[in-house]
Amino acid sequence: MKKLAMLLALMSLTAGAGRCAWAELNPDLRGVDATSQAARAAEQAGDLARLNKEYGKAAVDYERALRFDPYNSTLFNKLGIVELKIEDTRGARKSFNLALKYDAQNELALNNLGALELIQRRYKQATHYLKQALALDESDASAHLNLAEAWMGMGQVDRAMTEYSRALELDSDILTSANDGVLAQIRTPEQEARIDFLIAKAYAQRGNLDGALDYLGRAKGKRYPNLADVYTDREFASLWKDPRLAVIVKR
């Protein structure tokens, strides 16, 4: 009887150990759900902090979310954005690269790496990332705008103007809309002046002379350096005999 009892006890212990080992290798669905919910809650807290411009807190929240979900490309991109906001360029670069490591098709991270290169005046490398982003999503106005800045930085004005025009075609409010999302968009005073000149050109082509003159005045106020081009660009031909043009730009 004692031998039987010992055998039954040993079998019970063995079965229990087997259940424990199985549980470690195969966590039950409730555990998975709890981890997912924790990651989501931390991410939502980060999103709220980012919208409230509390970028340091957002970074902490996204890092906490990544502890629960360490291979999430979207989370790494969000972390990179807030790191960029607090001027932690090294951290931002690492986060964007990790976003691409876990999802090579993450066009947002590609755009953001391009924007980071622009900030550091590495224009050729910026075009490398931005072209990849646009290959994945050609309708991304922000990527076109960033690529325009890269071409301008390299002195390729015609290419830059083409990208500016495409950005405006896709989103006419691109320079006035809020920039608090997960896509980095470089904005400079020089860029705004160039955009005003392009809008003036578009108005002139459509016969809206009042609109063209208005935006030429804006470009002048922002010190657009090539304002005299209105007298050589055929798109402005309808304005050449308008005396109001000479008030804005002397021949």
Q: What is the pTM assigned to this prediction? A: 0.75
CB contact at 8 A, 84 and 184: yes
Q: Which two tokens stand for residue 114?
A: 């391009």
> Which fold, 30-104?
1.25.40
Which residue would you say has higher pLDDT here, 21 or 245?
A: 245
DSSP state letter for 236: G
> Alpha carbon of 77 to those of 1, 48, 85, 148: distances in Å?
66, 16, 13, 22
Q: Given this model, what pLDDT does residue 187 score?
A: 76
Beta carbons within 10 angstroms of residue 129's beta carbon: 26
Given this model, what pLDDT does residue 13 score?
A: 32
Q: Is residue 207 helix, strand or coil?
A: coil
User: For the chain, what are the domain ranges?
Assistant: 30-104, 107-185, 190-248
C-beta separation of 117 from 129 below 8 A: yes
* Residues, the chain: 251
What separation, in Å, do the N-terminal and C-terminal C-alpha atoms of the chain show?
115
What is the mean predicted confidence (pLDDT) over 162-167? 88
Q: Do domains 30-104 and 107-185 have the same CATH topology?
A: yes
Tens-digit pLDDT profile for residues 123-154: 999 999 999 999 999 999 999 999 999 998 89
Lowest mean pLDDT among 6-10, 84-88, 116-120: 6-10
Q: Which fold has domain 107-185?
A: 1.25.40
pLDDT tens-place string over residues 25-36: 344 435 568 888
Q: What is the pLDDT of residues 180-197, one digit of tens each?
A: 678 888 777 788 888 888
How much is the mean pLDDT over the chain? 85
Residue ranges of alpha helices (H) inside 69-156 are 73-85, 89-102, 107-119, 123-136, 141-153
Nearest to 77 by CA among 90, 95, 63, 53: 95
Q: For 93-110, what is the mean pLDDT?
A: 97
Amino acid making up residue 114: G
